[in-house]
Structure 1
Amino acid sequence: MNPSKTRLLAMMALGLLLAGTPLAQAEEREQTSERWVVLGGDIAETLAALEADINVIARDDTVVHPPAMAALPSVGYLRQLSAESVLSVKPDQVLAAGSAGPREVLAQLEAVGVNVATINAPPSLDAIADKVRAVGQLTDRQNAAEALANDLNDKLNRLASMPVLPPTRAMFIMQHSGLTPRAAGSDTAAHSALEAVGLDNAFAEMQGYHSVGAEALARQSPDVVIVSERGLAAMGGKAALWQLPGLALTPAGRKQQLIVVNVQALLGFGPRTPDQLLALRQDVETLLGASTNAQKSTAKISP
């Protein structure tokens, strides 16, 4: 047989053998023109962290990170989607967070042939690693997902093993309406974050997010105020924050103890959350340390 033909046949045989391997199948999928829509900021961040976002061509309004994905066309708000909006980008695959909906819209997408994969995970820190593994399974990134999940769990375990903080009441402001801040109560992602870093939620007696007036602020007396970057900017900055009625009567207001956070990264329960929690814990320790040192200095100079 001609040597050239022999080499050609050998190469073809090797190609047929490799075609059935998971690696070859994954590479083949990446080279296709499959069109994906991602619904949910945590799912989008997980896809990016696993480098599995190559086919994403659209997202919902909650996807604000990474910047490249946030720049993609939006199909609407996560919980108020319409089939027409999603279908307008001609998707082959929709990868959705469990909170995406309405459910009827997702059913309509499936009815016209769009493959819809929903990742149902509770909004809790314990579920972050499971969510990563689920995305890895759907995108053939199992090994990368397992490594990332273990790393995230290690960070959460490190946070949980940190020394207990002195009793500190915190107020988490999500936004404000006029002169009334909207604070986080129990059964919220913000409450979970406060607990994770060792803070007491000053408004744990209420459930959900509610506006709180001057009397409630003075009564609950938070030691620290935590606010989102956007929330602080919307109310006009730090000076405007401390002018909120009742806040000056609190320990936080008197000492102007404030921590500003990236709320999407902190409360999204995605791959960025453990690092953000560790950073918040460090900020709290720094703030409390500075406050303690100031009290000691005042005590030394007092007659």
Structure 2
Amino acid sequence: MRYHRVRSGRARALLAGLAAGLLVLTAACDSPEPAGAAGQQGPATAVLDDLDPVPITPAPTPVLPATVRSFDGTDVTVTDVGRIVAADRYGTLAQIVWALGLGENLVGRSTAAAFPAVSHLPNVTGGNGALNVESILALRPSVFLTDTTSASPAVREQLRATGITVVYFDPQRTMEGVVPQIEAVAAALGVPQRGQELGRRTSDEITAASAAVPTPDPRLRIAFLYLRSSAITMLAGPGSGADALIAALHAEDAGQQAGLTEPFTAITSEAMIAASPDVLLVMTDGMKSIGGVDGIAQIPGIAQTPAGRNKRIVDMSDAVLLSFGPNTGRVISALSDAVYGRTGA
């Protein structure tokens, strides 16, 4: 009988262990997959305390004329910066003009330049972001600042025919290009020293913000989605600018990991599932245009990704997210807080 009791005790212990193991396995199967790193769970908004770039004061006195090499390859001489129109796809040029201390000289902007300080100014771009030459001419600019992507070849020809002084800038969105862009705008406006000062401040802010970003192991996989109603849903890839922001967040760009080769590619279920993002990054107005978090969940393939299952979505104002201007350091900090939480991973 003693032998029987010992064997029964061991059997009971074995059965208890098996039951515990089954409970753990069942819980693991039923719970969502880990989101990759501690921090934000579910939707979050990356917020800047102030969307306006901080201007360097006092207002500078431009030294003119200033002759610079425009990004289209021509030499341009600027003789008057009293009436500046700055228009590009992401509002970068208007932000730089404002931060240089020349905001009072701005008389026109693009749709993307929507920060409060200039939101009252006339808009020279249409609903699709295309430049309207008639609107530009109506503002009688002494100098027009844009880039070679915002101004199509046809628009460039029209502008050339008007005789307006136009300076084109590099349209690429990279961390390495932020300071050179600031300095290029400052040189064109006759305030090169102010550009160097703003460039140093911006570089220091980017460096400090990047150093404070957590580095989880494994790294999060983040996908940037460009959304404009259900008709336009794009997944970002290399050269989009979003890839540079994602790298600054010490994360992997899901679009590149999925094998995308273009800056933006129409979303398909296959591409979205292959990207398998832990976090979705979107512009605030773009998210609203598609119906918010619930609308994003309806995009093909989203529900099959870790980000979709966990509703792990970070949105940020369209006015700053891809601007790559004087606000860049603050953008990185706000995104890091939203993705990882203020206390980090």
Q: Which band: TM-score by shorter chain?
A: 0.7 to 0.9
The 1:123–1:241 alpha-carbon spacing in structure 2 relative to 1, beyond 3 Å, is closer
Match of 1:165 among 194, 205, 216: 216
Contact 2:224 2:235 in 1 (8 A): yes
| Gap regions ≥5 residues in structure 1 | 1-21, 27-31, 291-303
Query: How far does residue 159 in structure 1 lie from its aligned partner after superposition?
Result: 4.1
The 1:288–1:228 alpha-carbon spacing in structure 2 relative to 1, beyond 3 Å, is farther
Give the corresponding residue for 2:120.
71
- Matches of 1:289 and 1:160, distance apart in 2: 13
Give the corresponding residue for 1:286.
341
Amino acid at match of 1:39: A
Out of 157-166 and 44-53, give the one that drifted further.
157-166
The 1:233–1:88 alpha-carbon spacing in structure 2 relative to 1, beyond 3 Å, is same
Q: 2:87 matched to 1:39?
A: yes
Identity level (%)? 26
The 1:104–1:174 alpha-carbon spacing in structure 2 relative to 1, beyond 3 Å, is closer
Query: How far does residue 236 in structure 1 lie from its aligned partner after superposition?
Result: 1.4
- Matches of 2:134 and 2:299, distance apart in 1: 43
| Gap regions ≥5 residues in structure 2 | 1-59, 65-79
Contact 1:46 1:132 in 2 (8 A): yes
Give the corresponding residue for 2:263.
208
Q: What is the number of equivalent residue pairs in this alignment? A: 263
Larger helix fraction of residues: 1
* Superposed CA RMSD: 3.2
- Matches of 1:217 and 1:145, distance apart in 2: 41
Scaled by the length of structure 2, the TM-score of the pair is 0.66
The 1:242–1:128 alpha-carbon spacing in structure 2 relative to 1, beyond 3 Å, is same
Out of 45-54 and 238-247, give the one that drifted further.
238-247
Q: 2:177 matched to 1:127?
A: yes
Q: Secondary structure at the match of 2:204?
A: helix
1 or 2 for the larger relative contact order (CA 8 Å, sep ≥6)? 2
The 1:244–1:49 alpha-carbon spacing in structure 2 relative to 1, beyond 3 Å, is same
- Matches of 1:288 and 1:248, distance apart in 2: 29
The 1:113–1:203 alpha-carbon spacing in structure 2 relative to 1, beyond 3 Å, is closer
**Cα shift readout 1:42-87 (whole Å, capped 9, x = no counterpart):** 110011111212222222333222x342322222359743543322
Q: Secondary structure at the match of 2:146?
A: strand
Match of 2:302 among 238, 242, 247: 247
Amino acid at match of 2:285: R
Give the corresponding residue for 1:268.
323
- Matches of 2:273 and 2:172, distance apart in 1: 34
Amino acid at match of 1:90: R
Amino acid at match of 2:335: L
Contact 1:170 1:225 in 2 (8 A): yes
